[in-house]
Amino acid sequence: MPRRSTIKALVIGASGHLGNAIVREFLDKKYRITACGRRSAPPANLSDLPVRYLSGDAETSGQLDEWIAGHDLVVDAAAPYPLSAFSPVSESGKDPIAHAERRTRLLLDAVRRHKARLVYVGSFVTLVKPRTSAQRFEHEMMRLAHPYFEVKELIESQVLEASRRGLRVVIANPTYCLGPWDLRDRQLCTIPLLLRGEVPSSITQRLNVIDVRDVAAAIGAALDAEYYGASIQMSGHNISTEELYSLICQLGGVPRPRISTAATLAVAGAYAMELMLGAIGQKTPLPAGGMMMATLFDYMVAGKEMSELGITPRPLCETIVDAINWYRRIGYC
């Protein structure tokens, strides 16, 4: 492995929430960073960082080889994740399953050609193991209803197969991430919506919340330990949705939502709305996929990987305060 000070890392999706945290973690480790994204210029969470920024589309012919050449490490923090349950065809006009398979194959082939290591950022949903017949039925219904789950399972199976064939790959599967540096569409960001009173109710649901910085630190530790070829569950604090919303509102100095809705009803309502709006070509303000994923926390078994990597999740209050300050800085709340 190259000396740390000489490691050249390419981060695909560097302006994403997790991708940006990984960039900052690697900069602290003195890696030389190339940040890649679709935007023509570095966005707000990259503009002040000492990185080389390359604009482009990973699916353009030859683009991955051009990006990866000369790098020791590649981070894929921009793997496909379909948000819409309405249609088997994505917003770009592609079947999300076929699209995910092709993109992943191109990435793995390019990483292998250039003899680099890979970090793949996936999702905790691939590690969920339903323990009862009711849980198995619910899980299968969600897989049939929403392409997100099949896409994530497909990508991870391809990555694991590449690892069995000798690719050195760290597979990170974080739970629900919060923290600074998020630039997603504001309508997908829970904290600013809560602080502006745009969330009418919470749901009766358990969550597991982790700071993006702790995920990035765990990825760095896994690379240092050469923890290759195994899916790593990266989890933090267990907390109910009501408790989380109350804590966010308390720290943000606003009233918390007074209404609470059963998780099953909330998912069904969000899914029905998504179908109705999709039928007339409109986007839903509340994607059902995220709410479906939340229900899986009810039967997720805690992993030991974080402690084995020497990572202790930071206090949740610290995560929330830093996230609030970031969202206020960029004008989200």
Task: Count the neighbouring beta carbons within 10 Å of the beta carbon of residue 43.
Answer: 16
Helix (H, G, I), strand (E, B) or coil at 121: strand
In the prediction, which pLDDT does 51 show? Answer: 97
CATH number of the domain where residue 41 is located: 3.40.50.720
DSSP 20: H
List all residues 6 or more positions away from 193 whose beta carbon is below 8 Å from its beta carbon. Answer: 186, 187, 199
Helix (H, G, I), strand (E, B) or coil at 74: strand
* Phi, psi angle pair for 178, to nearest 5°: -130, 170
In the prediction, which pLDDT does 141 show? Answer: 75
Residue-level pLDDT, tens digit, the chain, 333 residues: 555 458 999 999 999 999 999 999 999 999 999 999 888 899 999 999 999 999 998 888 899 999 999 999 999 999 987 766 554 444 445 688 999 999 999 999 999 999 999 999 999 989 888 778 877 877 787 777 778 889 999 999 999 999 999 999 999 999 999 999 999 999 889 999 999 999 888 888 889 999 999 999 999 999 999 999 999 999 999 999 999 999 999 999 999 998 877 666 666 666 566 666 666 666 665 666 666 777 777 777 777 899 999 999 999 999 999 999 999 999 999
Q: Please, are residues 36 and 16 in contact by the beta-carbon 8 Å criterion? A: no
Nearest alpha-carbon partner for 199 in 238, 241, 146, 240:
241
In the prediction, which pLDDT does 88 show? Answer: 46
**What pTM was computed for the model?**
0.89
In the prediction, which pLDDT does 168 show? Answer: 98
In the prediction, which pLDDT does 173 show? Answer: 97
Domain that holds residue 124: 4-329
State how beta strands 73-76 and 259-262 pair. Answer: unpaired
Number of domains making up the chain: 1
| Torsion sign (Cα): 11, 78, 171, 25 | positive
